[in-house]
Amino acid sequence: MNKWMHDELAVVTMTVNGHVYRRAIEPRLLLSDFLRDELGLTGTHVGCEQGLCGACTVLIDGAAARSCLNLAVSLNGKDITTIEGIRKRPQFPAIAQSLSRHHGVQCGFCTPGIVASMISEEEATQEEMDDLLAGHLCRCTGYVGIREAWKDLIQKKAGE
C-alpha cells in the first residue's frame, strides 16, 4: 500500500504525451496543476476547477476527463495526453482546419479542452457529439461554429 502523510511528497510516475515523467509532488496536487506547473504543459487551461467549464479536459488512458477533478497522485502509472500531444497526432490538422473553416475558435481559451473531447470519440454519433460538447463552456462563439466544425469532421470520417 502506498501512503503519504500531508507533509510528505508523493512520488508519481506518469506517461504524458508519450514521455515518462517521475516527480515528487504534494498528494493534494491536481492533475491540471501537475501538467502546467510541474511539466510546463500550459496548453491545458484551468477555468472553474469544479468540473463545469471543460477547459482543462485531457485524455486519461484515451478517455476525455477533467484534469481539475483528479489528484495527480491517484493517476500513478496512467497515460495522459494533453493538447501538446494531440497536436502531433495525424488527425490534428483536419480538426484544426475544420475549426478554422467554421469559425470554431475565437479567444481560444476553451479550445484545447474541446479538441481533447473531439479526438476522444471520433466515431461519435451526432447525439453523442452534442452530449460531449455540452460538457464545455465557450463564451465567444456561441457553439454554432464548433458544432459545425465537429459535424463536418464526423461526416467526412463516415464518408471515408
Partner 1 sequence: MKPALFDYFRPQNLPEALSLLDEFGTDAKILAGGQSLIPLMNMRLAQPRIIIDINGIAEIGQIREKAEALEVGALVRQRALARYVHTDGMWELLRLGMAHIGHPQTRNQGTVGGSIAHADPSAELPLLFLTMDGEAEIASLRGNRKVPAEQFFQFVFSTVIQPHELLRAVHWKRPASKTAGFGFYEFSRRAGDFAMAAAAAIVEIDAQRRFTSIRLGLGGVGPTPVLVQGGDMLYGRTWSDNLIGSWLEDVTKGLDPPQDLAANPDFRRRLAGAAAHKSLFSAYQSANGKWEGRTHE
CB-wise, 62 or 93, nearer to partner 1? 62
Question: CB under 8 A: which stretch of 2-10, 80-88, 141-149, 151-159 binds partner 1?
Answer: 2-10
| HSE value, Cβ hemisphere, 13 Å, CA-based, for 25 | 24
Residue from the set 14, 16, 35, 68 that interacts with partner 1 by CB under 8 A: 68
DSSP 120-145: H-TT--HHHHHHHHTT---SSS-SHH
Question: CB under 8 A: which stretch of 14-22, 34-42, 59-67, 144-152 binds partner 1?
Answer: 59-67
Does residue number 20 form part of the binding site for partner 1 (CB under 8 A)? no
For the four alpha carbons of 132, 38, 75 and 73, in that order, the dihedral sign comes to negative
Does residue number 54 form part of the binding site for partner 1 (CB under 8 A)? yes
Where does residue 79 rank: exposed (0-12), middle (13-18), buried (19+ CB within 10 A)?
Answer: middle
Q: What is the DSSP letter of 59?
A: E
Does residue number 5 form part of the binding site for partner 1 (CB under 8 A)? yes
Q: Name the minimum Å distance from CB 3 to partner 1.
A: 5
Q: Could you give the CA distance from residue 119 to residue 150 in angstroms, rounded to a whole number? A: 10
For the four alpha carbons of 128, 130, 133 and 137, in that order, the dihedral sign comes to negative
CB-wise, 1 or 158, nearer to partner 1? 1
Does residue number 128 form part of the binding site for partner 1 (CB under 8 A)? yes
Residues that bind partner 1 (CB under 8 A): 1-7, 10, 26-28, 30, 33, 49-51, 54, 57, 60, 63-66, 68-71, 73-74, 117, 121, 128, 131-132, 134-135
